[in-house]
Amino acid sequence: NAYLNAPTKEKYYIITGPEFGELERGKIAIIIRALYGLKSSGAMWRTHFAATLRDLGFKSSLADPDVWMRPSKLPSGEEYYEYILVYVDDLLIISHRGNDILDILTTKYQYRLKDVGPPKRYLGAVVGRYDKHGTKTWFISAKDYLQKAIPIVEEHYGTLNKFKADTPLPTNYHPEDDQSPFLKDDEISLYQSFIGTLRWAVELGRIELTFAVSLMSRFTTAPRTDHMQKLLHMFTYIKRHLDSKLVFDPFTRDWSHIPFLNHDWKDFYPDAYEPIPPNAPEPRGKAIQINLFCDAAHANDHVTRRSTTGVIIFLQGTPILWYSKRQSTIETSTFGSEFVALKIATELLEGLRYRLRMMGIPLQGMCNTFCDNDSVVRNVTDPTSMLAKKHNALAYHKVRESVAAGTQRIHHEFGKFNLSDVLTKNLPVYKHKACCASILH
């Protein structure tokens, strides 16, 4: 019971009952510990444990208050940061001397630790070691979480073997066109529960489900019969592909064969620069390469005619951020929807670079960005290129300024090789498998 380590700030008391014994019954008992159920207990536990971490020399990252870091050195002399990731009372320690930190927490601060050892599970995901081309790295997997969810689905709808599910949803499926009867109230609750399960699976690394889950989430308030059938189709796909995992690929990608353009932008954006926070910690460790793929499916919502943006960002070869969402505006051309997608990708990239810097992680120059619309790429890589469609001016200048500032360099990627396709549309089997092979293991 972690909360009991923390003192309570407010003054609480109770009148003791029979469970305290006859001699103590009816007395006033003052509560001095942060018991579960008190309004401030969570905050008091966090404050108490934060004081412990500060005493150990850790500082809370400004990018994420629950990521704690302190400077350290490897036995080889290489400088880096030790991290402690805190989720309520779950700790994930990243350090070459993690056991020493655990011993101090136990002996000096008298915490009673449970399940101490290399991480096996974190927030519902299975965590383990993986051999990547002879290099030991880590993986996370939603396998156990989904294995527990599938029997719940089958309890209501029978064994999930009625579909030929090689992809999360059938190719070119559009739920907005469905006119089947609405579900009854009890099935609506089930639909919402299943969507919640699938959303968390996406958070745990099942990236290939992102678009399908986003698509079906639009109908949680009024789902129809066929919508539920398509959720069962998704669970059937999951049942047949339970072993997919996200591997932390440490290898840098070689883009030396890519003819990235390098122009002088001073005449067009003379004041362009990438803002680096003045309070960012000193970078330590090996520089990280950032690679980004973005795509847009133009007007693929048959009702609203809004396009869908898909973005996936890699650190080295590891997917770290994935995004699939309908655009908030209606674009009349593929060019417009792709430009909006690239603007959104640029904003996501800038946020990620800020967080990495605030965690003391050095960046390997510009992000390598790939977009499959040649007209958009020409507009944002050639300083002399003029925008013909003025209503895209905000996206145009946002992306061009990030290129001028050295935040990213952009190259045209043919659509059949664009990994973000899996985040914008229901792909045919061969292309779905090709994308998954480059993203998951």
* DSSP codes, 384-438: TPPPS-GGGHHHHHHHHHHHHTTSEEEEE--GGG-GGGGGTS---HHHHHHHHHH
What DSSP designation does 100 have? H
* Alpha helix segments (H runs only) across 79-125: 98-107
Rounded CA separation 353/432 (Å): 29
Residues facing 138 on adjacent strands: 129
Confidence of residue 347 (pLDDT cuts 50, 70, 90): very high
Residue labelled with tokens 């036995």:
75
Determine what percent of the chain is predicted with pLDDT higher than 70: 99
Report whether pLDDT(417) > 90: no
* Alpha helix segments (H runs only) across 292-373: 334-358
Rounded CA separation 164/162 (Å): 7
Rounded CA separation 360/271 (Å): 26
Report whether pLDDT(416) > 80: no
* pTM: predicted TM-score of the whole model, two decimal places: 0.92
pLDDT given for residue 243 in this prediction:
93
Which pLDDT tens digit goes with each residue over 211-247? 999 999 999 999 999 999 999 999 999 999 999 999 9
In the chain, the amino acid numbered 4 is: L
Rounded CA separation 86/92 (Å): 7
pLDDT given for residue 407 in this prediction:
96
Report whether pLDDT(154) > 80: yes
Rounded CA separation 10/429 (Å): 59
Rounded CA separation 153/64 (Å): 36
* Alpha helix segments (H runs only) across 241-333: none
Which pLDDT tens digit goes with each residue over 259-270? 998 899 989 999
- DSSP-derived 3-state class of residue 285: coil
**Mean pLDDT rounded to a whole number for the chain:** 93
Report whether pLDDT(357) > 90: yes
